[in-house]
C-alpha cells in the first residue's frame, strides 16, 4: 500500500510506533514535572538533573549486578527510589521553607540545583559517558509489517499506558490525589479543614522526583548516559508541559505524544530537517492556544 511520494503504509506505522515509544519516556518525566508544577507551584528546573542522576544510578546498579540477568531490573526498581530519596531530602531540607516565595526566586533556586547536581554527577561518576546494554530479553527486534521494531521500544510502548493509568488512579481515586488536587487550587482552604498540607506537598514532590528517576532508568539502555542529558531533556519536557497546559497530567501525556510523533514523522518526511518539527508543533500550539491544549491549573 503506497501513500503519496512512495511513502509506504508499513513504514509510516513503524515510524508512529517508534515515535510513541519515545513519547513514553518524555511523558513519564514530564508528568513528574507537571505534578510538582501544578500542586507545589515550583517550576523545578532540577527535574532534568534528577533524570540524569536516575540514569547514572541505573548504570551503576546494573553494572554492580552485571553477573545476574536481573541487573537492569534491580536497577529499574532501586534507582528511581534513590532519586525519590534525594527529592525527599530536597523538599524537607529546603523547599519546605520557601513555598511563599515568588516564582522567579524558585526558578533561580531550582536552577542553582541543576548546577549543584551537574557537579555532583561529575564528582561521583567522572566526566566520561557511560553506556548500558539493553537487557537481554529485549535485545534485537521484532519484524512488524516487514520492518524491524526494537523489542525494547515495544516494552516502552506497553509501559506508557501503565504509567498513565497509574497516575490517573492516583490522582482521581486516592485520598492523596484528591487532597493534592484540592491543594493545587486552594492551599489555605485545605489547611483550614485540618489537613497537613506540608505532608501532601512532600508526597507529591517525592512522587514527581520518582517519575524523573523512572524516566532516567528507562532511557539508560538506549542512549549515552552523559553530562548534558539533563539540559536536553529539561527543554523538551518544559515545552511538553507548556503545550499540554501547566500542571495538567493529561496535558503532559498529550504534549509528549505530539512531541514524539512530530519528531518521528518529521524524520521520515523531511530527513534533512527532521530536528525542527517538534518545535514547529510547539510554536503552532502556542499561537492558537497560548495557555496550552488542556486546562492549565495555574
Partner 1 sequence: MKSTFKFFCLAAFVSCCLLAASSAFAAKTIKVGIVDTYSGPASTYTNDVRDAFALAVNKINAAGGIFGQQVEFVTRDSKFKVDLGLSAAKELVMREEVDILMGTINSALALALSDFAKQEKIPFLATFAKSAKITGEKGHRYVFSMNENTAMIGKAAAAGLAKLPYTTYWIAGDDYEYGHAVADGVWENLKKLKPEVRLLGQSWWKVGEPDFTPYITAMLAEEPDAVIIATGGRDCVPFLKAAQTTGFNKLVPFYMHTATEISTLKPLGLTAPEGVIGTANYHSYYPDTEENKAFVAEFEKAYDRTPAVGALYGYITAQFISKAYAKAGEVNTEKFIDALEGLSVDSPVGTVTMRAEDHQVMLPMFMGMTTKVEGKQFLVASEIITIPAEESMPSLDEIRKARQL
**Rounded to whole angstroms, how far apart are CA atoms 159 and 109?**
33
Complex with partner 1: residue 50 or 219, whichever CB lies closer: 219
The residue range among 79-87, 97-105, 142-150, 244-252 that interacts with partner 1, by the rule CB under 8 A, is: 142-150
Residue selected from 64, 96, 108, 131 as contacting partner 1 according to rule CB under 8 A: 131
Q: Which of 232, 276, 230 is closest to 50 using CA atoms?
A: 230
The size of the chain, in residues, is 298
Is 72 in contact with 135 (CB distance < 8 Å)?
A: yes
What the block records as the C-alpha cell of 82 is 534513590
**Rounded to whole angstroms, how far apart are CA atoms 135 and 216?**
15
What the block records as the C-alpha cell of 73 is 531490573
Residue selected from 96, 103, 122, 173 as contacting partner 1 according to rule CB under 8 A: 122
**Shortest spacing between CB 79 and partner 1, in angstroms:** 18
* Position 284 contacts partner 1 (CB under 8 A): no
Is 285 in contact with 296 (CB distance < 8 Å)?
A: no
Site string for partner 1, 80-119 (x = CB under 8 A): ----------------------------------------
What the block records as the C-alpha cell of 175 is 485520598
* Position 1 contacts partner 1 (CB under 8 A): no
Sign, CA torsion 74/79/84/90: positive
Count of CB atoms within 10 A of residue 86's CB? 22
- The CA-atom distances, in angstroms, between 253 and each of 144, 161, 172 are 25, 10, 16
Residue selected from 224, 279, 286, 298 as contacting partner 1 according to rule CB under 8 A: 224
**Rounded to whole angstroms, how far apart are CA atoms 226 and 220?**
10
The residue range among 104-112, 186-194, 206-214, 259-267 that interacts with partner 1, by the rule CB under 8 A, is: 259-267
Residue selected from 58, 110, 180, 226 as contacting partner 1 according to rule CB under 8 A: 226
The residue range among 10-18, 43-51, 190-198, 280-288 that interacts with partner 1, by the rule CB under 8 A, is: 10-18
**Shortest spacing between CB 11 and partner 1, in angstroms:** 4
Footprint on this chain of partner 1 (rule: CB under 8 A): 7-8, 11, 14-15, 18-19, 21-22, 122, 127-131, 133-134, 139-141, 147-153, 219, 222-224, 226-229, 232, 263-264, 267-268, 271-275
Amino acid at each position: 500500500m503506497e501513500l503519496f511520494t512512495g511513502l509506504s503504509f508499513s513504514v509510516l506505522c513503524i515510524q508512529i510506533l517508534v515515535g510513541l515509544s519515545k513519547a513514553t519516556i518524555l511523558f513519564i518525566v514530564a508528568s513528574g514535572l507537571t505534578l510538582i508544577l501544578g500542586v507545589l507551584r515550583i517550576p523545578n528546573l532540577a527535574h532534568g538533573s534528577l533524570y540524569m542522576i536516575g540514569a547514572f544510578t541505573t548504570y551503576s546498579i546494573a553494572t554492580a549486578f552485571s553477573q545476574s540477568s536481573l541487573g537492569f531490573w534491580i536497577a529499574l526498581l532501586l534507582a528511581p527510589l534513590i532519586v525519590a530519596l534525594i527529592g525527599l531530602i530536597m523538599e524537607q531540607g529546603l523547599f519546605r521553607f520557601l513555598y511563599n516565595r515568588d516564582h522567579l526566586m524558585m526558578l533561580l533556586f531550582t536552577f542553582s540545583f541543576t548546577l549543584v547536581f551537574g557537579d555532583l554527577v561529575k564528582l561521583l561518576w567522572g566526566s566520561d559517558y557511560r553506556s548500558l546494554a539493553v537487557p537481554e530479553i529485549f535485545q534485537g527486534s521484532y519484524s512488524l509489517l516487514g520492518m524491524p521494531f526494537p523489542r525494547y521500544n515495544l516494552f516502552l510502548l506497553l509501559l506508557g499506558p501503565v504509567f498513565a493509568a497509574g497516575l490517573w488512579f492516583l490522582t482521581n481515586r486516592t485520598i492523596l490525589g484528591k487532597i493534592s488536587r484540592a491543594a493545587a487550587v486552594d492551599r489555605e482552604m485545605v489547611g483550614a479543614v485540618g489537613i497537613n498540607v506540608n505532608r501532601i506537598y512532600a508526597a507529591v514532590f517525592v512522587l514527581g522526583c520518582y517519575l524523573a528517576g523512572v524516566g532516567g532508568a528507562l532511557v539508560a539502555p538506549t542512549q549515552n548516559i552523559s553530562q548534558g542529558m539533563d539540559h536536553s531533556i529539561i527543554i523538551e519536557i518544559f515545552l511538553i508541559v507548556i503545550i499540554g497546559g501547566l500542571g495538567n497530567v493529561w496535558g503532559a501525556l498529550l504534549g509528549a505524544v505530539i512531541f514524539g510523533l512530530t519528531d518521528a514523522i518529521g524524520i521520515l518526511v523531511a530527513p534533512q530537517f527532521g530536528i525542527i518539527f517538534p518545535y514547529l508543533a510547539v510554536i503552532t500550539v502556542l499561537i492558537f492556544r497560548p495557555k496550552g491544549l488542556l486546562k492549565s491549573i495555574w
